[in-house]
Each structure stands twice: as structure tokens, then as C-alpha cells.
Amino acid sequence: MWERGEQAPLSRAEALALGRNGTGNRAAGAGWRHACHVMLYAPLPTGSPPPGYAVLMQLRFDGRFGFPGGLVEPDGESLEAGLHRELREELGPATAGLRLRPRHHRGARVWPAGGTGSGSDAGLVTHFYIRRLSWEELVAIERGGPRAPEHGLEVQGLVRVPLGSGLPAFLRHRFAGDAREQLLGALLALGIRPSPLNEEPAGDPQIQVAGELPPPPQT
Ligand SMILES: O=c1[nH]cnc2c1ncn2[C@@H]1O[C@H](COP(=O)(O)OP(=O)(O)O)[C@@H](O)[C@H]1O
């Protein structure tokens, strides 16, 4: 079972200072694997209804939702190069020219060895990036998705996150790693939050959005 890290997010530099597989944090008896995922989003064309953004996630092979990305090679591949490689594999050729920079890094979380339930003796660091696209870039990536090498294998398809009344229901899905927390944090940063008015009537104890949703009605 994945246990949520309690610590505050680390900066890119702090997370890299932990080291990589077998090269860092020997005192803890384990190296660190680094995984990078990115939220790609774009403003909708002028005149579109609020909240005015399209935000991409993907349905993974394991039935969970997550952001595009994956594990960085332990042999010196930079975080951004690893993320870019994963994007080309998962989303296809439309991402080939996409520039991903350290300034797009929005924080990292540390998952000590065994915390993923994978049985791996390496801890995991999940890095989160946010990259704004033009509308044309986003649509090109969506259209190119079926041509990606991993389409239908690791990735079942890209989805736009429903940002209106469907958001609370979307958040009930299962998410990979800390993707749900990453999504919520990114949406809040964009000024998007689930409206209590849009909340479904029967309260679901699994839905807890920054403690802002009202308690379920007493029946
Ligand atoms: O969107 C995400 N946000 C945060 N962590 C994620 C996300 N997707 C997957 N993970 C976690 O990161 C690790 C590696 O990710 P992923 O499965 O994408 O890599 P891979 O495709 O290289 O095997 C997994 O343990 C997974 O739980």
C-alpha cells in the first residue's frame, strides 16, 4: 500500500542531493530512483467557458490515472531528459520539440524504500513538473497520442481532466503514486477548485479536497 509522504515537497536541488540508485544515502541502506511526471495544460480558445483550461492526464496500464512521465535512468540521465524520453514514448512525436526545463519543476516527494509496496529496496523520489502549452500544441499532442510507441500498452489514452461539475467524481478514481495530490495542488495554483455547489449530494468520505468540501448531509 502506498503511504503518503508527510514531508513538505523538496526542491529539485534538494531531491537531487539525495543521490541516485546506490550512489546516495548509503547510510539509509538504499539508493533512490527518481521518477518525473508532468502536467501539460493549455488555456482554452478565447470565449470558452470557465475555468478556461484543458488539463491532461492519462489512463495507465494498471487502470489508474497519472501524469505522463516515468522513471529516469540511473546512469546520469538528467531529470528533464528522462521526462522528455518518457513523453516521446507515451505521447508520441508531437512531444519531440517540447522543451522541459528545471524552471518547470514544481516539487518532489520522497518515498522511503518499501513505501510503494513494490518490494523494491530502492526509495523513490517523485518529481512533478507543470508545463503550459499553446492550444495548438495541446491538440497536436492529443491527436498524436495513438501513434506513440506505448499507446495501448503502458498508456491506454490521454484524457482531459473534467474541471467543472465532474471534478469531484473524477477525483474518486484511483491514481498512481501522489498524482492526485499533484493534480489538486496544480489546480489550486491555477485558481481552479471543486465548487461545493457542484458537489454530488451524497457525501463520499473518500472525497477530501483540502478540507474545503462540506460534510455530507445528515439523513
Ligand atoms: O502521475 C504520477 N504522479 C506521481 N507518481 C506517479 C505518477 N505516475 C506514476 N507514479 C509513480 O512513479 C513510479 C514510476 O512511474 P511510472 O509507472 O510512470 O514509471 P515507468 O513507466 O518508468 O515504470 C511508480 O511507482 C508510480 O507509482
Architecture of domain 12-163: Alpha-Beta Complex (3.90)
Distance of alpha carbon 132 from alpha carbon 52, whole angstroms: 13
Whole-angstrom distance, CA of residue 175 vs CA of residue 63: 8
Whether ipTM exceeds 0.95: yes
Q: Which residue's entry shows cell 478565447?
A: 46
Q: Is 36 in the pocket of ligand 1 (CB under 6 A)?
A: no
| pLDDT higher than 70, residue 206 | no
Whole-number Å distance between alpha carbons of 45 and 54: 10
Query: For residue 71, what pLDDT is reported?
Result: 96
Q: How far is the CA of 179 from the centre of ligand 1 (A)?
A: 9
Query: Residue 112's pLDDT is what?
Result: 85
- 68 Cβ closer than 6 Å to some ligand 1 atom: no
Q: pLDDT, tens digit, for every residue of 67-121? A: 999 999 988 899 999 999 999 999 999 999 999 999 999 999 999 876 554 445 6
Chain-wide mean pLDDT for the chain?
83
Testing ligand 1's pocket by substitution, the residue of 126, 171, 175 carrying the most ligand atoms inside 8 A of its CB is 126
**Nearest residue to 195 (alpha-carbon basis) of 56, 54, 57, 50:** 50
pTM of the model as a whole = 0.84
User: Is the pLDDT score of 26 beyond 80?
Assistant: no
Structural domain boundaries of the chain? 12-163
Write the residue with the smallest CA distance to atom 17 of ligand 1.
Answer: 70
Q: Are 85 and 96 in contact (CB under 8 A)?
A: no
